Amino acid sequence: MNIKSLQFFCLLSVAFFACKPDAQQTITTDDFKGVFVVNEGGFGKANGSIGLYKPGSQQYFDAYKTANGIALGDVVQSMTLIDGKYYIAVNNSNKIEVVNQADFKSVTSIATTSPRYVLKTSTNKAFVSNLYSNSIKVLNTSNQTLESSIDVHHNTDQLLLFNSKVLASTFDQKVMVIDPSSNSLIDSVTSASGLSKMVAANQGVYLLCTGLLDWNTGATIEKGAIQFVNDTFGIAQSWPLTSASYGGSMVYANSLNALLFSLGDNKIIKMAFDGTMTDWLVLPTGQSVYGLNWDAQNAQLYISDAGDFNANGKVYVYDATANKVKEINAGIAPNGVVLNP
């Protein structure tokens, strides 16, 4: 659930793996290879899921429920592959479900308050961000236990490894810089308003900041910006946006050598590293962007459309020339995909 949906419901790295072309995939009804879709579900309704789309047969099913016979939980935020296991952060159920990559069978459930993302930092070690606690949890992935906490003074969201340090985005215009070798907070970066996404690219980290809107009227208080964080953790450049929004998403498209981002409407904008911005894709009326993922191996963009957050959503796939490749039925409130070849 990103900043936009947090407001909607009362209040945003997924890494990719090469996906073989459809014709090369060996599809059976019970393997767990294909395109996983992370479906948050309705806030408080416990209907979040991890769906699996199989390109060859075009099947789509609830992977976790199929493998384990029970529903996953309330607000499925993210899924991360670490050493042959998927770590699924189920935010409002206050847990991380751990499943085997091969058969999606449950390994264990880790109780922890409002987990957002899980990031491997070294052998047998990962960090867990947290929506309601001002700390990063340290997870031992050899035995799936939480061993300690790092006080970072802010609620945390996305996690990113850069320059041997972990960057943790917050909801308070701050990026916290953590040394994973000592589990210590060593620095912070003050961003523009509406910090929504971090992307590592071009020997630095780009921040999508979506500005400020009046929650009552929708009027723009402060326009958004894209900012560049250099290897000494300072804001080296900032490019203003022409509008503001409640949230957004951004990816690095390697074959385009550019960033693709959206402010949550039906438009995707391309930004070259010199700051030049051009419209790359405008989705049809009635469609909108809730999440973006880039398949670097096949040069394809996956666009998650959460619709009204009550009915099942969609995932649209476009090639590097902005031509639509396919459309995938999803669960309720899809926010992204993970490829499992």
pLDDT per residue as tens digits for the range 33-53: 999 999 999 999 999 999 999
Cβ neighbours of residue 325 closer than 8 Å, sequence gap 6 or more: 300, 317, 318, 319
Distance CA 14, CA 293 (A): 8
The whole-number average pLDDT for the span 129-142 is: 96
C-alpha 193/C-alpha 238 separation (Å) is 12
* Structural contact between residues 226 and 206, judged by C-beta atoms closer than 8 angstroms: yes
Both structure tokens of 150:
């790092």
The pLDDT assigned to 341 comes to 73
Q: What is the CA radius of gyration of the chain?
A: 19
- Output the domain CATH number for residue 89: 2.130.10.10
Which residue range(s) make up the domain with 98?
Answer: 3-340
State the Cα–Cα distance between residues 317 and 216, nearest whole angstrom: 34
Q: Is it the case that residue 61 has pLDDT exceeding 80?
A: yes
- pLDDT at residue 197, as a whole number: 98
In the structure encoding, which two tokens stand for residue 106, read together?
A: 């449950």
Report how far residue 320's alpha carbon sits from residue 71's, in angstroms, rounded to the nearest whole number. 36
Strand boundaries in 135-190, DSSP class E: 135-140, 145-151, 156-162, 165-170, 174-179, 184-190
- 282 alpha-carbon distance from chain centroid: 21
DSSP codes of every residue in 270-294:
EE-TTS-EEEEEEPPTT---SEEEE
Summarize pLDDT for 244-293 with one digit per residue, the tens: 999 999 999 999 999 999 999 999 999 999 999 999 999 999 999 999 99
- Give the separation between CA 141 and CA 331, rounded to whole angstroms: 29
Residue 14 has pLDDT above 60, yes or no: no
- Concatenated DSSP letters for 5-29? HHHHTT---PPP-----GGG----T
In 3D space, the residue among 74, 42, 90, 36 whose CA is nearest the CA of residue 312 turns out to be 42
Q: What is the pLDDT of residue 28?
A: 43
Report how far residue 87's alpha carbon sits from residue 162's, in angstroms, rounded to the nearest whole number: 21
Cα-to-chain-centroid distance, residue 65: 22
Mean pLDDT of 289-298: 97
Share of the chain above pLDDT 70, in %: 91
- Position 2 scores a pLDDT of 55
Q: What is the mean pLDDT of the chain?
A: 92
- Number of domains within the chain: 1
- Region of poorest pLDDT, from 8-22, 138-152, 200-214: 8-22
pTM reported for the whole predicted model = 0.90
Give CA–CA dist 223/232, Å, rounded: 26
Query: In the prediction, which pLDDT does 1 show?
Result: 60
